[in-house]
Amino acid sequence: MKLTQLISIATYTLILSGCGGGGGGGGGGTSSPPASSKASVSSIQSSIAVSSSVASSNTSISSTLNSSAASADSRPKISFNRDIKHIVGDIDSFDRRKFITIHSSNTEADWFGSNAQSLGAPNASPDLITEVMEGYDVYFGRDTGGITWQLGELNQDPARPGFISESHAQTKGGDARWVYSNNANSAKIRQFENRLTDMIIGAQQHPFWPDGKLTRKGWALSQTDTPSEPFGTATGHYMGQYLAEYFNKGAGDLYGQPKPLYVEVMNEPLYDLVDASASPVPVEKVFQFHNTVAAEIRKTNSDVLIGGYTVAFPDYDKNNFQQWLNRDKVFIDMAGANMDFYSIHLYDFPAHNNREKYRRGSNVEATLDLLEQYDTIKFGKIKPLVISEYGASVHTMFSDPWTPQRDGLRLIALNGLLMSFIERPEHIAKTIPFIPIKAEWGRLNGIPYNDRLMRQRKEAPGETGDEWVFTDMIKFYQLWSDVKGTRIDISSSDPDLVVNAYADNQQVHLIINNLEFNAQEFTLNDYSLNNPAFTHATIKHFHLDSQNVPVLSETVSDKFPSALSVGANGTMIITMHYESAVVIDQTKVEQKTYATNYLQAIKTNSPLNFAISGITPAAFGEATLRLGIGRDHGKSLQPKVTINGTEVTVPKDYRGYDQYHQGKGRENFFGVIEIPVPYSILKANNQIEVTFADDGGHISSAAIRAFHYSRNFTH
Residues annotated as part of the active site: 268, 389
C-alpha dist (Å) from residue 501 to 91, 368, 380, 512, 622: 14, 22, 31, 9, 18
Distance CA 250, CA 303 (A): 11
Report d(CA 552, CA 2) in Å as an integer: 13
Contact 294, 339 (CB under 8 A): yes
Q: How far apart (Å, rounded) are the C-alpha atoms in residues 564 and 520?
A: 8
CA gap 151, 167 in Å, rounded: 14
Cβ-contact 452, 113 below 8 angstroms: no
Q: Which amino acid is at 700?
A: S
In degrees rounded to 5, what are phi and psi of residue 81? -130, 110
Contacts 24+ apart (CB under 8 A), 423-427: 423/88, 423/500, 424/88, 424/368, 424/385, 425/88, 425/89, 425/91, 425/95, 425/98, 425/487, 426/88, 426/89, 426/90, 426/91, 427/89, 427/372, 427/382, 427/384, 427/385
Q: Outline where DSSP puts E strands in 292-370.
A: 305-311, 341-352, 355-357
Please provide residue 429's backbone torsions phi and psi, each rounded to the nearest 5 degrees: -85, -35
Distance of CA 515 to the CA centre of its chain: 15
CB atoms closer than 10 angstroms to residue 697:
23
C-alpha dist (Å) from residue 38 to 371, 496, 502, 516: 31, 12, 32, 9
Q: What are phi and psi of 87, to 5 degrees?
A: -110, 130
Instruction: Tell me how far apart the alpha carbons of residues 137 and 97 are, in angstroms, rounded to a whole number.
Output: 9
Neighbours of 237 (CB within 10 A): 26
Residues forming a β-bridge with 624:
676, 705
User: Cα(113)–Cα(448) distance, rounded to whole angstroms?
Assistant: 16
Element (H, E) at 696: none
Identify which of 497, 623, 479, 616 has the alpha carbon closest to the alpha carbon of residue 565: 497
**3-state SS assignment for residue 238:** helix
**Closest Cα partner for 574 from 524, 528, 516, 625?**
524
- 434 close to 103: Cβ distance less than 8 angstroms: yes
Cα separation, 363 vs 628, in Å, equals 9
Q: What distance lies between CA 44 and its chain's CA centroid?
A: 21
Rounded Cα distance between 654 and 496, Å, is 7
Name the maximum alpha-carbon separation found in the chain.
82
Q: What is the 3-state secondary structure (H, E, C) of 144-157?
A: CCHHHHHHCCCCEC
Bridge partners, residue 625, by sequence: 675, 704
Q: How many Å apart are CA 627 and CA 697, to the nearest integer?
A: 13
Instruction: Specify which residues 707 forms β-bridges with.
Output: 590, 622
Tell me how far apart the alpha carbons of residues 481 and 469 are, in angstroms, rounded to a whole number. 19
3-state secondary structure of 185: coil
Distances (CA, A) of 154 to 144, 164, 165, 241: 17, 6, 7, 11
Residues 6+ apart with CB under 8 A from 238: 151, 154, 163, 164, 169, 221
CA angle 519, 628, 651 (to 5 degrees): 50
